[in-house]
Structure 1
Amino acid sequence: MSKEGDQYATTKVQPKDFVSGWVVALIIASTGLSVSTLFLGSEIALNLGLKKALIAFGVSTLVLTIMCMATTLIGNRSRLSTYMILHFSFGEYGAKIVNFIFGVTLVGWFAVALELLAIAIFDTTISTFKVEVSKELIIIVTSVFITITTVYGIRSIEKLANISIPILTGFLIYVFYLSIEKLENPWEQLFNYVPKESTMTLFDATSILVGAAILFPVLMADFSRFVKTDKQSLGAVLGLTIGTPLALILSAVPSITTGEVDIIKIMEQYNLVIPAFLLLFIATWTTNATNLYSASLTFATINKKWSFKLVAILSSVFGTILALLGFAQYLFDFLEFLGILAPSISSIYFIHFFWIKKQKYDLGNLNKWESPALFSWVLSSVITVFTYLEVFELTQAYFIDSFILGGLFYLFFKRKELFFLK
């Protein structure tokens, strides 16, 4: 297989395949336009009110942007995938452990998106055609077609998404406008909205949003390795900085004006069910095919003897079972769990690249195990579990605890190399 054919999975990206940072920024921004992201924006706005929701959107985006700015430079300067970067910092076998967790996470997102897509189809068939179809049947059928798409036709559906996502953005902006237009004093009414009794706090919402996108800082190198320059790779982060809060706001305002979380039920009130459904269907189908594709590639790195098709099918089956069991109801807990495990990985490989390896990676010098990184990750995760459970507090934000602790432990274990005391 050529280096280009495997997307430079284990080699450095060559200059002929470099792209503009704006291209990558648009790709990143498009990931926010999925049913799951729109659901989060709606749910948080209805639980907190617009004022606090905007604070949660802003703080979570700031935290993720700072993390992404750190790791995007590693991808741009090393020209290597996250998979290979983890090999250097965690070792060959350690990277497989981390990749397994990434794979499980992506399957979890596959299950959530599959379930939310099934709900959208279910609501559309009832509201438009007055026909009730079993949600379980919808989940199984859509899973089969998404799996076929992933294995055989993901490139064609991605081309379709390149057209549908800009249209969907424009459509959501139009719905946002309709939501404001129906109010006499829109901004006053929106900001004075009092949510129903809710147990969700501002910190809970911020944590959930950080968890929802926490893999971006870890996997940012997969995008930035293709970008031409450092400056442009930092610009690519704007895809998250602007795109994610925009998607959240575009879902939050219509939800407050209608009192609905379900995007299809919101569209019912504007007589826009069919166009909304078609656009969301294509966007979510693409996103979920990409989730399954990424999960399958990740699992395939654990054992190279496993075929991609077999891994994709098994991943799909597992994700479908989760969806049938109602995994979406555990979405917030799932996202908070990611906020415990993932941030420390970013800080560890950031320190390893800039301070330990001095920005130089030698593909011919890879170890089987890198125990300092693994110990740092495990220790920081264990302690962060206690700060998450509020047994004690450090920074009062457990995802920041994870990031800082991972780095501090790694610096301690690597102190001899760092201070040239070998």
Structure 2
Amino acid sequence: MSDHENQYCTSKVAPKDFVSGWVVALIIASTGLSVSTLFLGSEIALALGFEKALIAFGVSTLVLTLMCMATTLIGNRSRLSTYMILHFSFGEKGAKIVNFIFGVTLVGWFAVALELLAIAIFDTTISTFAIEIPKSLIIIVTSLFITITTVYGIRSIEKVANISIPILTAFLGYVFYLSLEKLESPWQLFDYVPAENSMTLFEATSILVGASILFPVLMADFSRFIKTDKQSLGAVLGLTIGTPLAYILSAAPSIQTGEVDIIKIMEQYHMVIPAFLLLFISTWSTNATNLYSASLTFTTIHKKWTFKKVTIVSSIFGTLLAMLGFATYLFDFLEFLGIFAPSISSIYFIHFFWVKNQQYHLDEIRPWEATALISWGLSSVICIFTYLEVFQLTGAYFIDSFLLGGLFYLIPNRKKIFNKKP
């Protein structure tokens, strides 16, 4: 099988397969317009009120954007997937540990999106057609569409994103307009006060960072295909603009209706069928991205595993998780990511730019890189304590993770970094 057909799982992307930055920006933006993202925007707006929710949306987006700007350049300059990049900083065997965790995490996201969409479709068919379709059947059929798309790689995902993003954005914008039209003034949104304080601003921000924390780590999977540095930085706008826009477009209708379920919201606007179709398309695009990254991860664990076979197996596993109700653990799952993922970004950022001077050669990968593994382990243990509020550092455990991972890795590598000959 050629590198192209195997999505360059273990090799550098060839120039013939480079794409423009806007293509990747659309793919990234499509992940923001998913059922799970709209659900988060609604939940946080109803829990905090619109004003505090906007602060949470803004702070989380700023943190993630800054991290993505660093890691997108690594992918663009190395032309390698995230999982091959991790081979350099963590070693071939060490990277398998990290990659396995990422792979399982991405399959978990795949399962959550499948389950939330199945719930939405289930509610739609009952309320609109008085027909009850088993959720397990909905999950299986939806998973099949997504898997077929993913098997054909990034070009296939791009085509779905090109269709879904403009249409879904326009639709959500129209619903946002209708929700404002029912208010005497748009400023009434800011007057909403939650019935009970079920969530703090910090908790909301942490959940939002956790929801997208894999973006900085996995940005290289997509930026490795982009033609230039400048375009790869521009692709980050898919997250910077797309994700908070999705949160806001879902927050206003939820405050106006008091509902979190997007289908129930649409019922009040008499647009259940259009909402159902668009949510299906958006989840198709988003989950193809999740499955694509998960499959890339697992192919680096065992080089004889082909991309297509791994995609199918990962899809089956994610489908089973969805059928078992994995979405119940969504918020705990997101907070878990905020502990373990940020430090990996800072470690491989330092390794690429300062330890290796932006030069990665596949024949230089070693079996183990103990420094990176120890740094990751130490930062993760400390962040578990800051998450549990045994003690505090910056006050935000996901920032603790990023800074501590980088600091612990920087100290033993200081001579390599600072004593280089000009």
TM > 0.5: yes
Structure 2 counterpart of 1:210 = 209
Name the CA distance, whole Å, in 1 between partners of 2:74 and 2:353.
8
Name the CA distance, whole Å, in 2 between partners of 1:219 and 1:99.
11
Name the CA distance, whole Å, in 2 between partners of 1:156 and 1:216.
20
Matches for 1:336-415 after TM superposition, within 5 Å: 336-415=335-414
Q: Is the 8 A contact 1:118 1:139 kept in 2?
A: yes
Q: Bigger shift: 241-250 or 142-151?
A: 142-151
1:55 deviation in Å?
0.2
Give a deviation string over 1:369-411, Cα, whole Å, max 9, x none. Answer: 1110111111111110000000010000000000000011101
Structure 2 counterpart of 1:4 = 4
Q: Is the 8 A contact 2:253 2:265 kept in 1?
A: yes
Q: Bigger shift: 371-380 or 133-142?
A: 133-142
Name the CA distance, whole Å, in 2 between partners of 1:2 and 1:157.
20
Alpha carbons of structure 1 residues 150 and 419: separation in structure 2 relative to 1, 3 Å: closer
Q: Bigger shift: 336-345 or 157-166?
A: 157-166
Q: Is the 8 A contact 2:27 2:157 kept in 1?
A: no
Structure 2 counterpart of 1:102 = 102
Structure 1 counterpart of 2:197 = 198
Structure 1 alignment gaps of length 5 or more:
none
The CA RMSD over aligned residues, in Å, is: 2.1
Give a deviation string over 1:141-187, Cα, whole Å, max 9, x none. Answer: 44455445545799667534421321111111011111101111222
Secondary structure at the aligned position of 1:9 is classed as coil
Q: Is the 8 A contact 2:11 2:80 kept in 1?
A: yes
Give a deviation string over 1:239-296, Cα, whole Å, max 9, x none. Answer: 1111110011011111111111010111101111001111111221232233234323
Alpha carbons of structure 1 residues 346 and 354: separation in structure 2 relative to 1, 3 Å: same
Matched, 1:17 2:33: no
Structure 2 counterpart of 1:48 = 48
Name the CA distance, whole Å, in 2 between partners of 1:152 and 1:411.
40
Name the CA distance, whole Å, in 2 between partners of 1:152 and 1:75.
21
1:216 deviation in Å?
0.8
Structure 1 counterpart of 2:245 = 246
TM-score, length of structure 2 as denominator length:
0.94
1:14 deviation in Å?
3.5
Opposite residue 318 of structure 2, the aligned amino acid is G
Name the CA distance, whole Å, in 1 between partners of 2:88 and 2:78.
11
Secondary structure at the aligned position of 1:65 is classed as helix
Opposite residue 398 of structure 1, the aligned amino acid is Y
Name the CA distance, whole Å, in 1 between partners of 2:307 and 2:301.
12
Secondary structure at the aligned position of 1:364 is classed as helix
Alpha carbons of structure 1 residues 306 and 71: separation in structure 2 relative to 1, 3 Å: closer
Opposite residue 344 of structure 1, the aligned amino acid is S
**How many residues are paired up?**
421
Q: Bigger shift: 269-278 or 134-143?
A: 134-143
Structure 2 counterpart of 1:330 = 329
Matched, 1:67 2:64: no
Q: Is the 8 A contact 1:214 1:339 kept in 2?
A: yes
1:421 deviation in Å?
8.8
Give a deviation string over 1:344-364, Cα, whole Å, max 9, x none. Answer: 001001111111111222222
Name the CA distance, whole Å, in 2 between partners of 1:88 and 1:102.
17
Structure 2 counterpart of 1:416 = 415
Matches for 1:104-123 after TM superposition, within 5 Å: 104-123=104-123
1:26 deviation in Å?
2.0
1:308 deviation in Å?
4.5
Q: Is the 8 A contact 2:106 2:290 kept in 1?
A: yes
Structure 2 counterpart of 1:266 = 265
Name the CA distance, whole Å, in 1 between partners of 2:286 and 2:420.
48
Q: Is the 8 A contact 1:139 1:320 kept in 2?
A: yes
Secondary structure at the aligned position of 2:392 is classed as coil
Opposite residue 162 of structure 2, the aligned amino acid is N
Q: Bigger shift: 301-310 or 264-273?
A: 301-310
Q: Is the 8 A contact 2:30 2:286 kept in 1?
A: no
Structure 1 counterpart of 2:227 = 228
Give a deviation string over 1:8-49, Cα, whole Å, max 9, x none. Answer: 333333444333322322221121111011111011101111
Alpha carbons of structure 1 residues 44 and 361: separation in structure 2 relative to 1, 3 Å: same
Q: Is the 8 A contact 2:157 2:289 kept in 1?
A: no
Name the CA distance, whole Å, in 1 between partners of 2:7 and 2:140.
31
Q: Bigger shift: 130-139 or 254-263?
A: 130-139
Name the CA distance, whole Å, in 2 between partners of 1:7 and 1:156.
12
Secondary structure at the aligned position of 1:206 is classed as helix
Alpha carbons of structure 1 residues 415 and 245: separation in structure 2 relative to 1, 3 Å: same
Name the CA distance, whole Å, in 1 between partners of 2:2 and 2:106.
26
Opposite residue 65 of structure 1, the aligned amino acid is T
Give a deviation string over 1:175-213, Cα, whole Å, max 9, x none. Answer: 1111101111222x1000011213211111101110111
Name the CA distance, whole Å, in 2 between partners of 1:173 and 1:344.
36
Name the CA distance, whole Å, in 2 between partners of 1:36 and 1:63.
20
Q: Is the 8 A contact 1:154 1:289 kept in 2?
A: no
Give a deviation string over 1:106-145, Cα, whole Å, max 9, x none. Answer: 1111111111011111111011101233334433444455
Secondary structure at the aligned position of 2:382 is classed as helix
Opposite residue 242 of structure 2, the aligned amino acid is G
Q: Is the 8 A contact 1:56 1:202 kept in 2?
A: yes
Alpha carbons of structure 1 residues 312 and 2: separation in structure 2 relative to 1, 3 Å: closer
Name the CA distance, whole Å, in 2 between partners of 1:149 and 1:194.
43
Q: Bigger shift: 278-287 or 115-124?
A: 278-287
1:227 deviation in Å?
2.4
Q: Bigger shift: 327-336 or 159-168?
A: 159-168
Alpha carbons of structure 1 residues 285 and 377: separation in structure 2 relative to 1, 3 Å: same
Structure 2 alignment gaps of length 5 or more:
none
Name the CA distance, whole Å, in 2 between partners of 1:153 and 1:374.
31
Q: Bigger shift: 20-29 or 307-316?
A: 307-316
Name the CA distance, whole Å, in 1 between partners of 2:329 and 2:375.
28
Name the CA distance, whole Å, in 1 between partners of 2:78 and 2:147.
33
1:313 deviation in Å?
4.1
TM-score, length of structure 1 as denominator length:
0.94
